[in-house]
Structure 1
Amino acid sequence: MLYIFDLGNVIVDIDFNRVLGAWSDFSRVPLATLKQSFNMGEPFHQHERGEISDEEFAKALCEEMDLPLSYEQFSTGWQAVFVALRPEVIDIMQKLREQGHRVVVLSNTNRLHTTYWPEQYPEVHVAADNIYLSQEMGMRKPESRIYQQVIALEGFSVGDTVFFDDNADNIAGAEQLGITAILVTSKATIPDYFSKQLC
């Protein structure tokens, strides 16, 4: 079987409120104001596909949110999204590989984050056979082609693939292709799913 795991809030806890909190501290713009103006719009998607640079992304968001930040302040805040590793998921990924399954990570991410989390959480690379990142692939979930490419590169069929993600749109995109897709709603979702398979 091919098991595909998302990264954020699946393997690693993330919290965008921490980003906004840091930006608020730097800029003195009230947190409530930032929460209202922050949205994952087109610049966000372009950045995840690698279509615009980190600097262009920072400029676009700062202009969109009327946020007076230096690039360094923006970057520091952007990295604050990461909270902690979920060791129970790392353990499951390793057990799956020991059983002969193929385990990969598929993440919508961006260059700014990929300069940070691999060093902070080296366990992710150790537990995965491969890591697929949207900005390197030039496409992002829930686009059908990103799932199709990962499955093709891994040499599996959709019927032999299970996908875990915390985003309902990403789950729907995978299900449309016939992939078994599990919406991760809490830290218990993945351990509960595997409680029988990995006994």
Structure 2
Amino acid sequence: MIKAVIFDLNGVFLQSEKLSDRIERDYGVKSAEFIEALIEIMNKVMVPNAPHSYQFWQPYLQKWNLNLSEEDFLEYWFSGEKLVPELLDYAKELRKQEIMVFLLSNNFKERTEYYRKHFPQIFSNVTYAYFSWETGFVKPDQKAYQKVLQDNDLSAEDCVYFDDSEKNVNIARALGIHAFQYKGLSEMKETVDKLIYRY
């Protein structure tokens, strides 16, 4: 029986134009160069007790001649992300059916704080949100998924998982979770409904 639906956050609940494309268009920094820096920095800040991300960005911003303060840079980044209201409504529907709804996100402190301030409706309509910088487990580490299961007394087959990353989906699937790459709301709802109502 399906007892829980687990969602990635970015690329699922929150959608945005690629930050690297925005930076290239607005500031002239080559997308590939920005992505290389982004991957390096995200790997450093998505874990517990990480320094503020801006200290890692500052040398790159100076190199690219971008005179952006920490506040300006993070606001530019985060403000490009938009909530998908239909997905929020679906989360509410699932909760009404007594199905737990979780977020499982690789993220860092400043971004999570921005989300909690600007998108409080997300957090009030899910059972719990798991962030790597708080748990210490970064997807695709199996422990990230196992923590959700263990904390909530769930077995893998009780859960459905959606992520825009194929790698993350494959790891979840290997654990026995019903895992799918997120390709849009209608396809996702159809998948969940089939799993719920087949029992």
Calculate the TM-score normalised by the size of structure 2. Answer: 0.82
TM-superposed deviation, 1:5: 1.0
Aligned pairs for 1:154-193 within 5 A: 154-193=152-191
- Give the Cα–Cα distance (whole angstroms) in 2 for the partners of residues 119 and 161 of structure 1: 29
What does residue 102 of structure 2 align with?
104
Count of matched residue pairs: 190
CA distance in 2 between partners of 1:126 and 1:95 (Å)? 13
Evaluate the alpha carbon distance shift between residue 142 and residue 60 of structure 1 in structure 2; reply closer, same or farther with a 3 A threshold: farther
User: Which range moved further: 168-177 or 189-198?
Assistant: 189-198
The 5 Å alignment of 1:24-173 reads 25=26, 29-30=27-28, 33-39=29-35, 40-50=38-48, 51-59=50-58, 61-62=60-61, 66-68=64-66, 69-83=68-82, 85-173=83-171
Runs ≥4 in structure 1, deviation > 6 angstroms? none
The Cα of 1:176 is off from its aligned counterpart by: 1.9
Match of residue 6 from structure 1: 8
Residue of structure 2 in register with 1:21 after alignment: 22
Q: Return the alpha-carbon distance in structure 2 between the equivalents of residues 37 and 170 of structure 1.
A: 24
Deviations 1:33-67 (A, max 9, x none): 4312122423212211243322333236537x645
Cα RMSD, aligned residues only: 2.4
Alpha-carbon separation, structure 2, partners of 1:175 and 1:117: 28
Secondary structure of the structure 2 residue equivalent to 1:78 = helix
Shift of 1:23: 7.7
Share of identical aligned residues, percent?
Answer: 26
Contact 2:24 2:31 in 1 (8 A): no
Q: Which moved more, 1:48-57 or 1:153-162?
A: 48-57
SS of alignment partner, residue 138 of structure 2: coil
Q: Structure 2: how far apart are the matches of 1:182 and 1:165?
A: 7
1:58·1:74 contact (CA, 8 Å) conserved in 2?
no
Runs of at least 5 residues in structure 2 that lack an aligned partner in the other structure:
none
The Cα offsets for residues 7-26 of structure 1, whole Å up to 9 and x where unpaired, read as 11211212223x6535864x
Distance 1:49 1:67, change over 3 A: farther
Q: CA 1:139/1:107 → structure 2, altered by over 3 Å: closer, same or farther?
A: same
Q: Normalising by the residue count of structure 1, what TM-score does the alignment of the two structures yield? A: 0.82
In structure 2, relative to structure 1, the CA distance for the partners of 1:16 and 1:60 (3 Å cut) is farther
